Chain A
Amino acid sequence: MSDGVITLLDPRLGWALLCLFGLLWVFLGWYWGRRASSVDDFLLAGRKVGLALGTATAMATWVTSNTVMLAPVFALEKGLWGMVAYSTASFGLFLFAPLSRRIRTLMPEGHTSGDFMRLRYGKWAWYLFLVISMVYSVAWLVSMGTAGGKLMETLAGIPYFHGVTSILLVCVIYTLFGGMYAVIGTDFIQSAIILAGVLLVGSLVVIRTDLRALYDTMAVEQPSLINALMPVALLSLFNNMFFGFGEVFHNNVWWSRAHAMRAEVAPRAFFLSGLLWFPIPIAAGFIALSATSLGVNVIDPNTVGPLVAGQVLGKVGAVLVFVVVFCSLASSIDSLLAATSDLLLQDLGKKILGISSEPSRFRLYSKFIIILLGFLTWVLCALEMDLLQILFLSGPLVASAIWPIIAGLYWNRAHWLAAVLAMLLGSALGLWAYFQIGWYTASLISSVVSMAVIFVSVPFCRQTFDWKKLHE
């Protein structure tokens, strides 16, 4: 950060908070991680996570630094519909509830979403799926690291690269210590802090804002934000919804949680986590809507949420936002590190490269991949790419996987070639829409194309899939 720029927190206080919470997560990671004695313990927390921990980990994982930063951006750019659009990402959790039940029934000993694609559709769909999943996972990790670095800089004047390095280092260390046990344990505490923090900041901003003045100012200076028919906002509603479905349905973060929870708990935990997550983007978004009426000058839309919270609530607000941001960063980065290393190890390492599955070696490889992923994210974060661009470019890729997953789980006449074509055509046309029409149509187009391919193919499919093939 350049000299002379005023930040909301004293950098020394920022570093103190960073060290305090960093040490806390590392200690808790080590403490809970002692229970992980087998590979299944390390990767899937022994497959016996209960309702409270299951709900908390799903909710905390879905509240990312992107939620804290992009939900306010959505509200600032697309108004009321923008807030609702971001909240529709919770629909992914609602609908993953029945899917998780089906996953546990079909694959009681399963490990990854890649396992499902390989056993259900064969190697070509599996390879393509792994490419899509890895592109998305790295994009998600980088977008979170970038968001975290920028927020640390805005809030406390911690230089961007120092912030990114500290956050990644903490998350890599405690994930290494405890695997999924550490991730789920810390997620429980982090989810409580995030939920209380965001709702408290949102409520305080509402209390300190004259709603009549807010409406009057917006009607004059930002009339489109309160226009119920704002075109881009309406389109982003569906686009964001399908992006959210794609993210949740395909990614191993959610599949690994489905496998980690007790079978009867998983559907309820995903549904409850969706309910708890739904108000968070609305609370975060409202903060941004009030910026103009409160006289807050926004320079970088990516930091509008923390900026308004800090200016309205002073140092207390800034500390609250800092802690919430750090918790949301840690709760998502650790989950993604653990689940992606699991996917790489099980699918790429074990099934493609044929590495040894001897438990002590397997765990060692898992730790090596976590470090490698952390390092890759750290290098890519140095490029300081645009947040929306990073995230939404992967939208059409993951949206193309929605229908191969749904059809694969419920229909015994979904063919492997249809799944491959659905992902290829969906991704291609979604990316075309991204560049030719706008990002707000990419996931929508991709999902609909993928759906059309699957529906058209089913009447021509002569083979009936034997579900028992999923028991490996």
Chain B
Amino acid sequence: MVRYEGPDQATYLSGLAAGNYFFRVMAKGPQSAASSSWSQPFELQVVFVGTHQVILLSLIGLAGFTILVVSIMVGHRLSQREPKVLSS
């Protein structure tokens, strides 16, 4: 698969699935005859964070978010009962 063809001398890769990928480049002149040969391929390994770590941290995040929202809502409701005390 050709990833990029054009005048830029760099490209940015993202969104690859986990696995090993091989890339190589070729220089081309204005005419197709003036092409270089392919470079040696270089290998890119894509590795994701472990599933257990993701699940654990996501659950912690969800719990933290829920406690935060509930604390503010309860605090807000309770605080609405005390404005007279505060303004005296």
- Sample of 20 more A-B contacts, CB < 8 Å, known A98-B72, A225-B14, A241-B65: A76-B14, A79-B15, A105-B79, A105-B83, A224-B17, A227-B17, A231-B51, A232-B49, A235-B57, A242-B65, A297-B4, A297-B11, A299-B12, A406-B68, A441-B57, A444-B57, A448-B64, A451-B64, A451-B67, A467-B86
Listed A/B pairs (24) with beta-carbon separation below 8 Å: A76-B14, A95-B69, A95-B72, A99-B72, A102-B79, A105-B83, A218-B15, A224-B16, A225-B14, A231-B50, A231-B54, A232-B48, A239-B61, A241-B65, A245-B68, A298-B11, A299-B11, A301-B14, A406-B68, A406-B71, A409-B75, A437-B53, A467-B82, A467-B86
Contacts of A410 in B (CB 8 A): 71-72, 74-76, 78-79
Query: B48, A231: Cβ atoms under 8 Å?
Result: yes
Summarize A's interface: helix, strand, loop or mixed: helix
Q: Is A109 interfacial (CB-CB < 8 Å)?
A: no
Chain A residue with minimal CB distance to B17?
Answer: A223
Q: Is A438 interfacial (CB-CB < 8 Å)?
A: yes
Contacts of B67 in A (CB 8 A): 451
Query: A238, B16: Cβ atoms under 8 Å?
Result: no
Q: Which of B6-56 contact A (CB under 8 A)?
A: 6, 8, 10-12, 14-17, 48-51, 53-54
In the bound assembly, the distance between CA atoms of A99 and B76 in angstroms comes to: 8
Size class of the contact patch on chain A: 35 or more
Mark A204-243 against chain B: 1 for CB-CB distance below 8 A, else 0. Answer: 0000000000000010011111010011101101110110
Q: Which of A280-303 contact B (CB under 8 A)?
A: 297-301
Chain B residue with minimal CB distance to A223?
Answer: B17
Query: A238, B86: Cβ atoms under 8 Å?
Result: no
Contacts of B15 in A (CB 8 A): 76-77, 79, 218, 221-225
In the bound assembly, the distance between CA atoms of A451 and B15 in angstroms comes to: 34
State the Cβ distance, B53 to closest chain A Cβ, in Å: 8
Q: List 6 tightest A-B contacts by C-beta distance, closest first.
A: A222-B15, A238-B61, A410-B75, A225-B15, A98-B76, A231-B54
Chain A residue with minimal CB distance to B3?
Answer: A221
Contacts of B17 in A (CB 8 A): 223-224, 227
State the Cβ distance, A124 to closest chain B Cβ, in Å: 24
In the bound assembly, the distance between CA atoms of A230 and B48 in angstroms comes to: 8
State the Cβ distance, A465 to closest chain B Cβ, in Å: 12
Contacts of B82 in A (CB 8 A): 467
State the Cβ distance, B39 to closest chain A Cβ, in Å: 18
Q: Is A101 interfacial (CB-CB < 8 Å)?
A: yes
State the Cβ distance, A307 to closest chain B Cβ, in Å: 11
Contacts of B72 in A (CB 8 A): 95, 98-99, 406, 410
Which of B6, B49, B65, B83 is within 8 Å of A235, CB to CB?
B49
Contacts of A95 in B (CB 8 A): 68-69, 72
In the bound assembly, the distance between CA atoms of A60 and B72 in angstroms comes to: 25
Contacts of B1 in A (CB 8 A): 221
State the Cβ distance, B69 to closest chain A Cβ, in Å: 7
Chain A residue with minimal CB distance to B82?
Answer: A467
- Interfacial residues, chain B to chain A (CB-CB below 8 A): 1, 4, 6, 8, 10-12, 14-17, 48-51, 53-54, 57-58, 60-62, 64-65, 67-69, 71-76, 78-79, 82-83, 85-87
Contacts of A102 in B (CB 8 A): 75-76, 79
Q: Is A462 interfacial (CB-CB < 8 Å)?
A: no
Chain B residue with minimal CB distance to A467?
Answer: B86
Contacts of A238 in B (CB 8 A): 57-58, 61-62, 64-65
Contacts of A301 in B (CB 8 A): 12, 14
Which of A79, A223, A406 is within 8 Å of B75, CB to CB?
A406
Query: A234, B86: Cβ atoms under 8 Å?
Result: no
In the bound assembly, the distance between CA atoms of A77 and B12 in angstroms comes to: 10
Which of B8, B10, B60 is within 8 Å of A444, CB to CB?
B60
Q: Is A133 interfacial (CB-CB < 8 Å)?
A: no
Query: B12, A300: Cβ atoms under 8 Å?
Result: yes
Chain B residue with minimal CB distance to A399?
Answer: B64
Q: Is A402 interfacial (CB-CB < 8 Å)?
A: yes
Contacts of B73 in A (CB 8 A): 98
Which of A222, A227, A438, A448 is within 8 Å of B60, CB to CB?
A448
In the bound assembly, the distance between CA atoms of A448 and B57 in angstroms comes to: 10
State the Cβ distance, B4 to closest chain A Cβ, in Å: 5
In the bound assembly, the distance between CA atoms of A106 and B83 in angstroms comes to: 9
In the bound assembly, the distance between CA atoms of A35 and B54 in angstroms comes to: 53
Contacts of A237 in B (CB 8 A): 61
In the bound assembly, the distance between CA atoms of A402 and B53 in angstroms comes to: 24
Q: Which of A294-352 contact B (CB under 8 A)?
A: 297-301
In the bound assembly, the distance between CA atoms of A106 and B85 in angstroms comes to: 11
State the Cβ distance, A446 to closest chain B Cβ, in Å: 10
